[in-house]
Structure 1
């Protein structure tokens, strides 16, 4: 069930992860399982991203607490910071712990060895709903950083992002150098948002939510099997 319903989505998701080097794992075609990436470059880049994400979230938090913001701006920035923090926490894996990917491998092993021997059961409405939810979140993950970038282009001093930390933001005359710096900062923050969201969503979607759907499907199969006995 996991191989049929969620594995194709996960493999596609990992292709996006590979673009940002935000997951230190890869799918092995021969074993049909996931393993730690053999690329030292990917591992080092991923660790760098972990550090940058932690620094970025810390900077957002300090800006909300001590930055030159009004109460309304602090509340506005808090919601954005919570979204960033919610993605940064599950994406943190500086020590390259294989436990998260082993959870998914366990689902694949169980699916291959146990479930295939039970009576076939049509995909339940719960599984379909979870799969639809995963697809919608994937679309949102892809869209959110782009929308943030566009928003920052119109409101470059929007809290709690980096430029809002400066009290004179938006008050200085526009110049080519200043415009280039703003664009560079916005691209950097968009990149941070992308790799944090894509990496963090991997475990939320395919270990937690897909795992719940997998277990519910197994219980349905087990119930039918026991009734037949």
Structure 2
């Protein structure tokens, strides 16, 4: 369930997002849910616009630039990741719909699902039946178990990806579709700040896009399947 399996990693991910200022949300420990965070909304909007511009520059470089056929195919392998991150993380107006999804799961678990489990426990004790009849969310289907492993793993993998990108640009600065590959004599150009800028772009794009994808879509699907498993019992 969402509260049991994802809240610890969700708090860590939101703390990182707050540090990067890439999404307008934060976790409120007093309320026990996710709230809107408007203190740095202008930075969030700037990052959204930069993400579009950065992805558009990569797109133009791959399809309209002077890359070789091999370079175009190489750039096309990276481009979908940035395009997907740009689309998923876009929240220029700071809409609250994403956190309403998370808070709905948390509210459902606190009120409806908890009440049902209490009733089931009472029924089992009254009938003196085996306690093992009570459904255990951890014994759900294989998809749910894989999601509980995959989501924290993927969130950590994004950070590793940023480090690997910086290393790649340091030793192979002309790699398409990144910005330095647009320059004709990129092999003779050493711009460390540009590598840091591109790594920062990837960091906030993947972190924001990953949060929406992992904790709204994947965690949401897994939680719904867990609810069905419990309610069917």
TM-score by length of 2: 0.88
**Counterpart for residue 202 of structure 2:** 193
Deviations 1:177-228 (A, max 9, x none): x53xx1111100000000000000111111111111111111111110xxxx
Tell me the distance in 2 between the aligned counterparts of 1:150 and 1:156: 9
1:7 CA drift (Å): 1.1
Deviations 1:36-79 (A, max 9, x none): 1141xx21111110111110000000001111200110011011
Gaps of 5+ in 1: 173-177, 225-229
Alignment match of 1:106 (pick from 104, 107, 115): 104
CA contact (8 A) 2:26 2:35 kept: yes
**Counterpart for residue 222 of structure 2:** 213
**Counterpart for residue 121 of structure 1:** 135
Tell me the distance in 1 between the aligned counterparts of 2:202 and 2:38: 25
CA contact (8 A) 2:51 2:86 kept: yes
Gaps of 5+ in 2: 118-133
Tell me the distance in 2 between the aligned counterparts of 1:107 and 1:76: 41
Alignment match of 1:153 (pick from 170, 191, 214): 170
**Counterpart for residue 95 of structure 1:** 93
TM-score by length of 1: 0.90
Alignment length (residue pairs)? 214
Tell me the distance in 2 between the aligned counterparts of 1:38 and 1:203: 18
2:22 pairs with 1:22: yes
Structure 2 SS opposite 1:118 = helix
Tell me the distance in 2 between the aligned counterparts of 1:33 and 1:221: 23
Tell me the distance in 1 between the aligned counterparts of 2:38 and 2:212: 20
RMSD between superposed Cα atoms in Å: 1.2
CA contact (8 A) 1:149 1:187 kept: yes
1:121 CA drift (Å): 2.9
